Structure 1
Amino acid sequence: MSGRPADPVLAAALKRLQEGMPAVLATIAATRGSTPRVPGTRMLVDATGIVGSVGGGQLEFEIIASARDLLASNASATRCQHFILGPDLRQCCGGALDIVLERLMPESLPWLKQVLDWEFEGAFWEGRLAVGDPSSARRLHRLEGAPSEPGTARLVKSVDGAELVEMSGRPWPQLYLFGAGHVGRALVRLLGDLPFHVTWCDGREDIFPAEIPMNTRCDAAADIDALIKGAPADAHFLIMTHSHALDFDLVAAVLAKERFGSLGLIGSDTKKARFLQRLRADGVAPGDLARLQCPVGIPGIKSKVPAAIAIAVAAELLVLTQAREQEGAVTGVQSVG
């Protein structure tokens, strides 16, 4: 899949509008000092609930209250509020941030549909909305390439007022998950709230659950060889099918690809030893064999409960992707999902 996963907050905003439910989009536009979240972070607020988070605690409580005040007022003008994370909010971060609150109306549907279409295509965009204007006045510009700071926002101030400027394209790692059993299902549920683009493969078409997270695409009829060969060079692979024979074929196919982010296999030390023996006999180089992680997941979690295994695997993925991001920051290389 060449596109990026839908931003869950913007996707939820589109769904609310399509269902005729009023909501307010809260976006962190600027920060100074220590703050719980970064510029570009969004939260959707309606009369009964929220989607996403801009930091939790008393700060988020105040932002939700302000958003619901905006809903109750029926005002269409976008607002900007400044918060200092000090004693008044019972938070000791010491920083400050600006939050832009915009009431979403039926007239906001075109821009929401457009940015989500661009995300699906893998295109990048810039959005601009003047504080005081309605959400529908947002100006969009499709970018030719990835922005220098993807997935961020800033508040541009001038003598004429202030403007929220947003950049799309926060890079999300691509994960190819093979197997839709108990652990696979638990892992997909967990990854639904994490920044991963998941392609979930299992030849048993009727095994996928009815509810699939927005960042996940199911594929029951994939050409596995073509899928693996066509995956990005930094893609992560997790193999946990119902068949050891299929597991082995998938491991061999990923190792033959040579360039990939990581390769994890569910199983025991005994399973790993048997796989390595066969792969060694097939001529796989020792350096490639060393890249096979089995058992998969961060060490120290011994539970065999599917949800516990999923947590261990997700934690390991986060460690791997964080290390890659830090490496990219040092070298100046940026990965684009």
Structure 2
Amino acid sequence: MKSIYKKISEIEKSNESAALCTIINTTGSTPRKTGTKMIVYDDGSIFGTVGGGSLEKKVINNAIEIIKNKTPRILKYALTQKEGMGCGGSNEIFIEPITGTSKLIIFGAGHIGKTLAKFARQVNFSVTLVDDRQDIFDDFDTSGFQIIQKNYNIAFDEIKFDNNTYIASIMREHSFDRDVVAYCAKQDYAFLGMIGSKAKIATSKKIFLSEKILTEEQMSNINWPMGIDIKCNTPEEIAVSILAKLIDVRSKLN
């Protein structure tokens, strides 16, 4: 049992996507007792077992769905001959997503990006900064942050996108922001936002639609202009506006 809890701690620290499956009730003959636990990862791999066979396959499939929608459920499974389980009993299994620290990926490490990174870490976001400029981090204490000092097109391959990923595009050129958003809008994420004036955002929307880069539905999930609607001018004020939106989304999802 200790190894299961150690595994859960590792998952929370590494921000992996997984679910904990616990047998909470049994009737009749069953291969595992109440309290038995199994971890299911988003790729279908497991740690532990709730009995094997067709039962376990069903639990794994249900757990993968629960990882995606973040909604815990109690499910009942009959262990019948028809299902290839001759025990004849039944299990009730509580399946709950294991949620680690929310990941914030900031594309662009300018004044706003760096300020947002500092603020976000203080409210329990795991922060990654992406920027390919050689000297961009010279005046920035990178300890406690993940740094990807590469072009964003290359950085995409190093990022694991999932439904606990928050993405803020604050690039030095608006065309770069469009590239980032065009890619990220097709990935799994909890939040995707792009900085810019209302005029620049309107231009981006027209480009995405006219060139068939994104659909109306994909664009409807993007927060742009990014942040809460307050009057702000300085990097600190803009970062606070963005962070407030991130916190709001996270609290609603959790």
1:288 aligns with 2:185: no
1:176 touches 1:198 (CA, 8 Å); kept in 2?
yes
Runs of 4+ in structure 1 over 2 Å off: 118-124, 143-146
Taking structure 2 as the reference length, the TM-score comes to 0.58
Post-superposition offset of 1:186:
1.0
Structure 2 counterpart of 1:184, from 113, 117, 120? 113
2:108 touches 2:172 (CA, 8 Å); kept in 1?
yes
Counterpart mapping for 1:20-59 below 5 A: none
1:189 touches 1:213 (CA, 8 Å); kept in 2?
no
Structure 1 counterpart of 2:208, from 279, 293, 317? 279
Q: Alpha carbon RMSD of aligned pairs, Å?
A: 2.8
Gaps of 5+ in 1: 1-114, 125-142, 147-168, 326-337
Corresponding residue number in structure 2 for 1:171 = 100
Q: Distance in 1 between matches of 2:193 and 2:15?
A: 28
Paired residues in the alignment total: 167
Q: Distance in 2 between matches of 1:290 and 1:210?
A: 35
Change (3 A) 1:191 1:213: farther
Corresponding residue number in structure 2 for 1:140 = none
Partner SS state of residue 172, structure 2: coil
Partner SS state of residue 308, structure 1: helix
Partner SS state of residue 192, structure 2: strand
Gaps of 5+ in 2: 1-8, 19-36, 41-97
For residues 2-49 of structure 1, give each alpha carbon's deviation from its aligned partner in whole angstroms, at most 9, with x where no partner exists: xxxxxxxxxxxxxxxxxxxxxxxxxxxxxxxxxxxxxxxxxxxxxxxx
Taking structure 1 as the reference length, the TM-score comes to 0.45
Indicate the percent of aligned positions where both proteins have the same amino acid: 23
Structure 2 counterpart of 1:224, from 155, 166, 169? 155
Corresponding residue number in structure 2 for 1:243 = 173
Corresponding residue number in structure 2 for 1:20 = none
2:15 touches 2:102 (CA, 8 Å); kept in 1?
no
Q: Distance in 2 between matches of 1:123 and 1:324?
A: 15
For residues 261-314 of structure 1, give each alpha carbon's deviation from its aligned partner in whole angstroms, at most 9, with x where no partner exists: 121111111111010001001222111111221211111x21211101111111
For residues 136-184 of structure 1, give each alpha carbon's deviation from its aligned partner in whole angstroms, at most 9, with x where no partner exists: xxxxxxx9749xxxxxxxxxxxxxxxxxxxxxx8621111110011101
| Aligned amino acid, residue 180 of structure 1 | A
Change (3 A) 1:298 1:264: same
Q: Distance in 1 between matches of 2:16 and 2:210?
A: 41
1:186 touches 1:307 (CA, 8 Å); kept in 2?
yes
1:241 touches 1:247 (CA, 8 Å); kept in 2?
yes
Counterpart mapping for 1:253-332 below 5 A: 253-257=183-187, 259-283=188-212, 284-299=214-229, 301-325=230-254
Change (3 A) 1:298 1:270: same
Q: Distance in 2 between matches of 1:205 and 1:318?
A: 31
